[in-house]
Structure 1
Amino acid sequence: MGVDLLSREGYINVPGGRVWYRSVGEGGIPLLCLHGGPGFTHYYLEPLEDLAGRREVIFYDQLGCGRSDRPSDPALWTVDRFVEELVVVREALGLERMHLFGSSWGGMLAMQYVLDRKPALESLILCGSPASMPRWIRECSEMLAEEPEEVRETIRHHEERGFTACPEYASAILGFYKKHVCRMEPWPEGLERSFAEAGYEVYETMNGPSEFTVVGTLKDWDVTERLGEIQVPTLLTGGRHDECTPAHLKDMHRRIPDSELVIIEDASHLCFAEQRGEYMRIANDFLERIEKRIAR
């Protein structure tokens, strides 16, 4: 990506406060990107700036994390409010036509937006995004069972006592993260910054203490039976070792009409960073095929 691409940033008033956004590139049909977490900032999505050579790519930090406002009010951390936030951001940026990308929780948010609001979209790209948190929890438990017993005991001990801020707990869960979240060594700077500037109140309220221990308000979230309602051309992507398993994504692919599925080898949850060149080729090919279909 060239260094001379147009970049702009600013703040948008949304329910509960202000969110910060940044756009890179210009022209084409814009791509709006939703980060995961909830509460993990746009920084780890920075590889997607590679797509800005052909279209405007827009990021924003959802309320409660990164450079956005951080109100301390658990009542704000609901799926419905984040859907409304997305609606307001789109309107404020004048995105009458757009593609939508969602990573992990960002894809869950995107699916809820599509299902509830039936918005006009050119396409939808989901990356490592589950349709069912109960299934995510079950499959993450199976992956966690592959860790050594002493590691699992350390995790259990700390979670039962509420000591998840302890360095020993952080060390114990790191093995899972390095296998199923990001397999790069060292981790990308954007991912490190996302951990540093995450909104942990949001994450813990909606998710819980870790990727595989979901005890927050999202624990029962499940749109599996509604996937057939998605009437937007959809690309599902994920890594072979993703915590959102290939089996989960294959089931979603079968249920979503006009959908495509690509599993990235030697990659996990951050497959767009781990296999960056391959992922950008796949995304650009999909977006351009959709745009040619629209133009006919």
Structure 2
Amino acid sequence: MKSLMDGEYKVKLNGITHWIRVAGSKNNTTPLVILHGGPGGNQYVFERTIGLLLSNSRTVIYYEQRGCGRTEKPSDDTKYSIDLLIEDFKSLRKWLEVKKLDLLGYSFGGELALEVAHADPKVINKIVLSGPSLINSEINKMVQITGFCSVVDNQMYKQMQNVLKEGLTIDETYNTFWELVDSKSVDLLLFENQEIGKKNRILWEESNLVNTGLMFKALQKNPVKIPLLDRLKEIQQQSLIITGVFDRNTGISISKIIHKGLRNSDIVLFNNSAHFPDLEEPEKFNMTVQEFLDQKVVSLL
């Protein structure tokens, strides 16, 4: 790795000026790159919570994806795709001047981590997936549909029942549900402990960083040609999947499907968490990730 000091950087990667932050450089470990979720999210909460624990003993690299958080927005609103995100990442790796990287992706970031590992296998060492998604799959949308039904109040539930009776497609039902729900319903979906949910929302608001929704829309319109599920078996890196048992956003279902498809993965369930075990059980999350990354790499070759 190039000699970087802890701090924030603005670096042009693949034609887009990206926000990057380095923390824990004194630890001189294999860099752990954090891939945020969304699609269209940012690193603001992660770097102020679990990231502080991880960087006590690891070199941590944060960056925000194109059009996200503090990173520049493409001039063309359609310039979002998995291929472009992979090329952005490859530019980041070249800028870092590294031979090996570990990845920690949460939610959509977990899905992106798998895409990066598939596209750049010689560079990626180990992969941690926290509540990984399969955003364009019907089952992921059904998990969220049933998840909302399980947590909303009676009035909202009746509205959702009426939607379900309309005979809409899964996509139409999914989109209608997201138009119906309020911030309280979203917090109920994402967190088991609502006090943690409130703290998370305060940080979201404090950040002044808004998810435009442009990336999500573009990724829905331009899915990858060969679904990730059909390529999981080609990913050989040791992978750890972390999932909260109350995850109603991506859920155990998605994690189990990914676990089944990967050739070299383990799955750990967090019994007091929903979609963000890093926030609801931070000490356990930190310990689990650190122990996994410290293990000797087991090759399938």
The answer to whether TM tops 0.5 is yes
Identity of aligned residues (%): 22
Shift of 1:182: 6.5
Within 5 A, what are the aligned runs for 1:1-296?
Answer: 7-26=6-25, 27-46=28-47, 47-131=50-134, 133-146=137-150, 147-148=152-153, 150-152=155-157, 153=159, 169=180, 171=182, 174-181=184-191, 183-185=193-195, 186-188=198-200, 189-193=202-206, 196-206=208-218, 217=222, 222-242=227-247, 243-290=249-296
Report the secondary structure of 2:12's partner residue: strand
The DSSP-based 3-state class of the residue aligned with 2:85 is helix
How far did residue 222 of structure 1 move?
A: 3.6
Deviations 1:146-168 (A, max 9, x none): 33463152896xx99x99999xx
What is the CA-CA distance between 1:85 and the residue it aligns to?
0.6
Alpha-carbon separation, structure 1, partners of 2:232 and 2:186: 29
Distance 1:220 1:268 in 2: 31
RMSD, matched Cα? 3.1
Residues 28 and 56 of structure 1 are in contact (CA less than 8 Å); yes or no, is this contact kept in structure 2?
yes
What secondary structure does 2:51 align onto? helix
Report how many aligned residue pairs link the two structures: 275
Distance in 2 of aligned mates of 1:222 and 1:163: 25
| 1:44 and 1:193 in contact (8 A); partners too | no
Q: Retained in 1: the 8 A contact 2:18–2:64?
A: yes
Q: Encode CA deviations 1:42-68: one digit per residue, 9 max, x unaligned.
A: 112222231112221010111112111
Show the counterpart of 1:212.
none
> Which runs of 5 or more residues in structure 1 are unaligned?
1-5, 208-214
Deviates more, 1:19-28 or 1:221-230: 221-230
Q: TM-score, normalised by structure 1?
A: 0.81
Structure 2 unaligned regions, length at least 5: 164-171
Task: Check the 8 A contact 1:134/1:219 in 2, yes or no.
Answer: no
Change (3 A) 1:199 1:176: closer
Matched position secondary structure for 1:290: coil
For residues 218 and 264 of structure 1, what CA distance do their matches in structure 2 show? 31
Secondary structure, aligned partner of 1:267: coil
Question: Cα distance 1:70–1:183, how it changes in 2: closer, same or farther (>3 A)?
Answer: farther
The answer to whether the Cα contact below 8 Å between 2:235 and 2:262 also exists between their aligned partners in 1 is yes
CA distance in 2, matches of 1:16, 1:182: 40
Shift in Å at residue 130 of structure 1?
2.4
In structure 2, distance between residues paired with 1:125 and 1:24: 18
Q: Give me the TM-score of the superposition, normalised by structure 2.
A: 0.80
Offset at residue 249 of structure 1 (A) = 1.1
What CA distance in whole angstroms lies between the structure 1 residues aligned with 2:216 and 2:60?
A: 29
In structure 2, give the amino acid aligned to 1:61. Answer: E
